[in-house]
Chain A
Amino acid sequence: MHRARVSILYVVLCCSAAAVTRSVWDGVYTKEQAGRGLATYGEECQKCHGEKLGGGEGGPPMVGDEFLSKWNGKTAGDLFTLTRKSMPMDDPGTLSSKEYADLVAYILSVNDFPAGQKELDRDVTALNEIRIEAKR
């Protein structure tokens, strides 16, 4: 029994380690997707979070060291889930999953993470595989 438990624990740890396989430095969104995110940001988010995510009266900045230090070590899935759960503040959860994914892509782009060939997924499980790392 004892040996079996160790094996199960080993498998779980391996799976967990394997779950987060990429980081935001690996080109996890496309420029086009970030462009769509910018449009949605302008309509839904800018009034509180300010131009280019710089922060405003109603919302904190979502760019720069302070923002990244809060999110360092978390996943794109965490960012997607929180955004969907809590935003827009006046009517949370009312955008489509695609729009929330586009917004996360835009946030990554403004924070200077590189674009790639494949769009950021709208599936949370897939997004949980992408780690946010403040520095490469």
Chain B
Amino acid sequence: MKTPTLALCILAVALGAPAQQGAKDGEWRFYGGDAGSTKYSPLDQINASNVKDLKIAWEWKAQNFGRRPDINWEVTPLEVGGVLYLTVGTRRDVVAVDAVTGETLWMYRLDEGPRGAVVARTVNRGLAYWSDGKGDNRIILITPGFQLVALNAKSGLPIAGFGKDGIIDLFLGLDRDVVKPGTIGSSSPAIVIRDTVVVGAALLAGTAPPSKTNVPGYIRGFDVRTGQKLWTFRTIPQEGEFGVDTWENDSWKYTGNTGAWVPLSGDEELGYVYIPVEAPTGDFYGGTRPGNNLFSDSLVCLDARTGKRIWYYQLVHHDIWDWDVAAPPILLDVTVNGRKIKAVAQVTKQAFTFVFDRVTGQPVWPIVERPVPQSTVPGEKTAATQPFPTKPLPFDRQGTSIDDLIDFTPALREEAIKIASKYKLGPLYTPPIMADDDGKIGLLLLPHHTGGGNWPGGAADPETGMLYVASLTNQDSLAMAVADPKRSDMGIVGGGARGRPTGPPEDTPRPAAKTNIGPQGLPLIKPPWGRITAIDLNTGDNAWVAANGEAPDYIKNHPAMKGIDLSNTGKPSRSLLMVTKTLLFAPEGNNLWTPAPGAGGNLLRILDKKTGKLIHQIELPAMATGIPMTYMVNDRQFVVLAIGAIGVPAELVALALP
């Protein structure tokens, strides 16, 4: 038996095994499982035949980390050598936890003083890991106050030879004389490729920025051994640099944002990192930054060691919808029309999947520029065209028409049409309007900037080339308003979600029914309100589409919905996907803001990844808030995920077979 196995191994090496194989050796060394963010593990101890026997093996409570209990913990732990590593709490402390028992092994807490008191982002998603393979094993943290820290994975102590006593100040080197604490940080971990720590950035939301001047979210690379800065990639080109002409009126001088706030991806073999870049300053108004605004809203491929730009593709020109490239790029190898392609798939908020050859940046299927509606907002200069992939099909509704409105009953339909008549409707890329323009409250934005795909992105099976995407179908009003010059120099800013039928929350925080603009607090748009789409990236065709569960209780119990089958509507949230050899773990999940207990769904749904059919579901103590991960220690497979809700402090739950 031994000889044939060895021979097969040698054959596999000789043929050149694919670089992206999901999480290896039963571990989970990257936020997304592997550097390519596939969230795939080939483990199969837990499978369709026994998944019903899954039990909670241990829980790890996060309640006492941070000033107050975190309830929207978007973390996915790493697992290396029987130890979990994760960030925890609003202070983003780091803990190491025994992967079998849940026992806390060490904790690291950096007191950042005033720098850490007011931060751009308190949410945290996790860490990066690096090893030289000879015993130097490091954990890489980005703090809420935007400092880069290298820790000894064994002890949790800072690495003295990295930066200054283990710490690097990330405020430095951003082409601004002063960076005010709280303006820039990061919610996602760094990634380490070719011994280089690559760091993105997250800034405050730009609905109504007080100024067109902001900090740029440059991408930077640091040597993982010394902390020495190796390079800066300016996501807003400066004078003389490629792309600066896409920032008219010298707007490159003052515009900021354009960071990369979701986890990054990379290919160790190629030595490339893949950067999903967000929108520039002014989520919904670009009159202060005319032009296409490279490299905003682009997928950018950089050489990890030098920061040199290998290729880029802009997915939204001159973004005025806040359609950041907001999901980790997914790397996997596929075969299209007989040709093997090292691919990268980028899912987006506006429900597209852009697929490229990740070596060259060439689209796998043609992407065409199509004319789009133009803005009527004063000073706004919309891009004439936007890129539309010809394949795969969009994975969610795009744009709004009367056909999209709910029709459960004739009365609800009539009411929905009446409501919709108050808004501007239109196809994808219809620009926002000034409030009350032509008697309309605002633009009905679909996908909403919090809809479509988002940071949970998708998961992929590198063995089959199948991509799984979770998306949210929500609608909301978007209207622009003249900025009060005392409060903003933008000229025009987003006026928020105008036209909601209710004022401030009164009963419970952010009750879902009160954020819907549809009839009687129901969604305005037809279900499914949350779905999972399986796309075969070898063909570009959908393999299956499934609702992500049943309707939420506030819709089920609505008097107008009596007698209507709501078993296949899905919930208005995004499932948090992880793939194993046979299963797709799809907990009812994150809708960006955790609702009251029960409103978002507490079910861990486990699907047959081939068909999308539900195999089993487990009720968790609260809603999943982080993407699940899996690992094997001592021949036992665990599935771990973060949960929480208002009134239920965050915790990790580990599931395993008895």
Binds B, one of A3-11, A17-25, A59-67, A124-132: A59-67
Contact A92 B208, CB 8 Å, known A54-B488, A54-B493, A55-B496: no
**Residues of chain B with a CB closer than 8 A to A88's CB:** 68
* A46–B646 CB distance below 8 A: no
B509 interface contact, C-beta 8 A: yes
- Across the interface, name the chain A residue whose C-beta is closest to B479: A66
Contact A86 B204, CB 8 Å, known A55-B494, A58-B593, A66-B495: no
* A91–B71 CB distance below 8 A: yes
**Residues of chain B with a CB closer than 8 A to A90's CB:** 68, 70-72, 594, 646
B204 touches which one: A43, A50, A70, A94 (CB < 8 A)? Answer: A50
* A91–B210 CB distance below 8 A: no
* A91–B69 CB distance below 8 A: yes
- Across the interface, name the chain A residue whose C-beta is closest to B71: A90
* A54–B209 CB distance below 8 A: yes
Cα–Cα distance between A86 and B119 once the two chains are bound (Å): 22
- Across the interface, name the chain B residue whose C-beta is closest to A90: B71
Cα–Cα distance between A126 and B157 once the two chains are bound (Å): 52
B506 interface contact, C-beta 8 A: yes
Cα–Cα distance between A42 and B145 once the two chains are bound (Å): 13
Interface size class of A (residues with CB under 8 A): 20 to 34
Cα–Cα distance between A39 and B449 once the two chains are bound (Å): 29
B411 interface contact, C-beta 8 A: no
| Min distance, Cβ B195 to any Cβ of chain A, angstroms | 34
Interface residues of A in 63-95 (CB under 8 A from B): 63-64, 66, 70, 82, 86-92, 94
Cα–Cα distance between A133 and B506 once the two chains are bound (Å): 21
* A87–B509 CB distance below 8 A: yes
A89 touches which one: B70, B503, B510 (CB < 8 A)? Answer: B510
| Chain B 517-535 per-residue mask, 1 if CB under 8 angstroms from chain A, else 0 | 0000000000000000000
A47 interface contact, C-beta 8 A: yes
| Chain B 38-82 per-residue mask, 1 if CB under 8 angstroms from chain A, else 0 | 000000000000000000000000000000111110000000000
* B494–A91 CB distance below 8 A: no
**Residues of chain A with a CB closer than 8 A to B207's CB:** 50, 54-57, 61
Cα–Cα distance between A56 and B509 once the two chains are bound (Å): 16
Give the interface centre of A54, A82, A89 by most chain B CB atoms within 10 Å. A54
- Across the interface, name the chain A residue whose C-beta is closest to B450: A57
Cα–Cα distance between A112 and B493 once the two chains are bound (Å): 19
**Residues of chain A with a CB closer than 8 A to B69's CB:** 91
Interface residues of B in 113-142 (CB under 8 A from A): 117-122
B425 interface contact, C-beta 8 A: no
Cα–Cα distance between A39 and B182 once the two chains are bound (Å): 11
B109 interface contact, C-beta 8 A: no
| Min distance, Cβ B77 to any Cβ of chain A, angstroms | 21
* A91–B205 CB distance below 8 A: no
Cα–Cα distance between A91 and B186 once the two chains are bound (Å): 22
Cα–Cα distance between A110 and B484 once the two chains are bound (Å): 12
* A51–B204 CB distance below 8 A: yes
* B182–A91 CB distance below 8 A: no
A52 interface contact, C-beta 8 A: yes
| Min distance, Cβ A66 to any Cβ of chain B, angstroms | 7
* A47–B122 CB distance below 8 A: yes
**Residues of chain A with a CB closer than 8 A to B505's CB:** 82, 86
* B182–A61 CB distance below 8 A: no
Give the interface centre of A47, A51, A63, A112 by most chain B CB atoms within 10 Å. A51
Cα–Cα distance between A58 and B123 once the two chains are bound (Å): 13
Cα–Cα distance between A48 and B593 once the two chains are bound (Å): 10
**Residues of chain A with a CB closer than 8 A to B646's CB:** 89-92
| Chain B 627-648 per-residue mask, 1 if CB under 8 angstroms from chain A, else 0 | 0000000000000000000100
Contact A47 B204, CB 8 Å, known A91-B71, A94-B68: yes
Contact A54 B450, CB 8 Å, known A91-B69, A92-B646: no
What are 21 inter-chain pairs, A to B, with CB distance below 8 A? A39-B117, A39-B118, A46-B118, A50-B204, A51-B210, A54-B209, A54-B488, A55-B494, A60-B496, A61-B207, A61-B495, A63-B487, A70-B504, A82-B505, A82-B506, A89-B593, A89-B646, A90-B70, A91-B69, A91-B71, A112-B486
For the complex with contacts A57-B592, A61-B496, A90-B70, 13 further pairs of A-B residues with Cβ separation under 8 Å are A42-B182, A47-B204, A51-B209, A54-B209, A55-B208, A56-B205, A70-B503, A82-B505, A86-B505, A88-B68, A91-B69, A92-B509, A92-B646
Residues on B facing A (Cβ under 8 Å):
68-72, 117-122, 182, 204-205, 207-210, 322, 449-450, 481, 484, 486-488, 493-498, 503-506, 508-510, 592-594, 646
Top 4 nearest A-B pairs (CB, nearest first) are: A54-B208, A42-B118, A56-B205, A55-B496
